[in-house]
Amino acid sequence: MHNNHFPHRVKPAKLSLIVMSLALAACAGRPVLVQPEPPLSFATPLPPLSVNPELGLLLGAEQRRSPHFDERSDPADISLLVVHGISLPPGQFGGPHIDELFLGTLDGNAHPYFDALRGLRVSSHLLIHRDGRVVQYVPFDKRAWHAGQSSFAGRERCNDYSIGIELEGTDDTPYEAVQYQRLARIVALLIQSYPGLTPERIAGHSEIAPGRKTDPGLAFEWGRFRTDLAAALATDQSIAAGRVPP
């Protein structure tokens, strides 16, 4: 719950910096742009995450079971992670429609765009919302229907051996910092839990289905994600070695 009893004030030290910046900008003849101080946040902290490989679950994620999945031909063959981007309707965030699509309850009359999605049976293992909340729709040892016609490193049918993670977003809208953080944490946990997964076996939907798919798009910063992932893996290795507390 947000607390509205605290008035929003600029601290004196910050006010001095703002005044100095204004003066310097005025002397240089540049237009002045003042960035407002962000409002105080009282949001509930995001829950910690962990993987239970026996159950195929991401503990700490919201669990909502999609009917759109089937059995893997080899449940032990999990050797690719696919990053997707999704928003429904396109460019709109925070609504219930991604849930409805993956759960098979999307009303085709709710928006003109949804008419083309009637009868579509798709899912993903995970969805990371723009506020960092994570939802799991399919256990990792099951085959979610996220990749479609696809191939990676010469092997087709990526659904057979991959885990799909959707990010709420679009190809040309910057993803949120918390989405990168949660994605890196989740991928680090999955790499530790499934030996076939490595940092080199991570791809975007556009990479495994070129010409057919474009997500997660140019807005997704692969360098930033891989830096965050390396940091998450290094932290986990330090914890495992007892160099830092968990």
**pLDDT at position 27 over 50:** no
Question: What does the pLDDT read at residue 49?
Answer: 97
Q: Residue 45: which pLDDT band, with cuts at 50, 70 and 90? A: confident
Alpha helices by DSSP H, 66-154 = 97-103
Catalytic residues: 166
Q: Residue 226: which pLDDT band, with cuts at 50, 70 and 90? A: very high
Residue 128's alpha-carbon distances to 3, 154, 202, 208, in angstroms, are: 26, 29, 16, 20
**pLDDT at position 67 over 80:** yes
Q: Residue 126: helix, strand or coil by DSSP?
A: strand
Instruction: Record the tokens describing residue 17, joined without a space.
Output: 């910096």
Residue range 229-243, pLDDT digits in tens: 999 999 877 666 665
Residue with tokens 């703002």: 18
Residue with tokens 């063959």: 77
Question: What does the pLDDT read at residue 235?
Answer: 87
Domains of the chain: 1-43 (no CATH), 50-240 (3.40.80.10)
Which element (helix H / strand E) includes 168?
Answer: strand 162-168
Cis before 75? omega within 30 = no
Q: Give me the chain's average pLDDT, please.
A: 85
In this prediction, residues 87-102 reach a mean pLDDT of 97
**pLDDT at position 3 over 60:** no
The answer to whether 215 and 175 are in contact (CB under 8 A) is no
